[in-house]
Amino acid sequence: MGVNSIKKVLYSIIFISMVLYAMLPNKPDIARYETFDDTPLITFYKDETIDEAINVSAQTYPYLYAKGGIVLDRNLHLWQVGEDVLQIKKALKKIGYPISTNSYIFDENMQKIVMQFQSDHDLNSDGIVGKATLNAINKILIENKMTAPTVQTIVTNAPTSGYWIAINKSSNTLTLFKGKQVIEKFPVATGKEPKLTPEGKWKINNKVINPAWKNIKGGVPENPLGYRWLGLNIGDGYIYGIHGTNNENSIGYYVSKGCIRMENEDVNKLFSIVKNGTPVWIGNQKQLSQWGIVIK
């Protein structure tokens, strides 16, 4: 066989290999940094949410959704993180309880104060902010004409006039923006340690429906990635991402190996709106403030 013939054979082999490589899945270990074998340091509660309780509790708890009160979408427990936790802290402080409002974390001190509030108002002192406790807080706020605390997000510097995302690691909150306008906020779970979820100005790199995870195929209830994956442009886009979960009770906690977990319904909504190239800013509250996202 001549030299030219050998070259043609080699070129053919290279070309075929490239075609096969392009056809093969390039994400055999999607979310490679997420192991899902870590044991949470907290207990996840499986109980009814505020929303589930309201339909049967309107008469028993008339201040639960009363105008001028705080509205919660979930019961609040020890070690949860969120803007709703801060709202309750601010409300308790306004009512007269000695509680710090410098953190979004439902810590042991908050649990102690919630239990004291419950005891003071003849409630079950379980340290959980459920429908009865929220009803009592709202009753005091409304009857004393106190303004219910809120958490506002103000953007002075938006990366685009279109859709974009900011993830506040201090409050475990993902905010969808359009320009400087807040479209919707979602609770998320982030890294068990602050360094695990990488801070920075990233972009959506890829979108996957029913992502597979190691030996678990996509689109099944036991898949820890849920049903949607929004990969970030860190590495090849299959290391860190925003995704669903098979344990929605973990949302609102610091538990992941670095990815951002969302409730499946929430990530599905987000997936339908954002596109590849959508900016995603990730940072703690101090960092986001320096970038032009002020929370107050």
| Angle between helices 131-143 and 83-95 in degrees, nearest 10 | 50
Alpha carbons 113 and 109: distance in angstroms, whole number? 6
Active site residue 121: no
> Are 88 and 138 contacting, i.e. CB atoms less than 8 angstroms apart?
no
What DSSP state is assigned to residue 216? B
Of 243, 251, 254, 264, which is the active-site residue? Answer: 243
Active site residue 11: no
Of 92, 132, 188, 259, which is the active-site residue? Answer: 259
Burial class for 127, CB neighbours closer than 10 Å (0-12, 13-18, 19+): buried
Residue pointed to by tokens 């509030």: 117
Record the tokens describing residue 220, joined without a space: 């099944």
Alpha carbons 189 and 86: distance in angstroms, whole number? 16
Residues that are catalytic: 243, 259
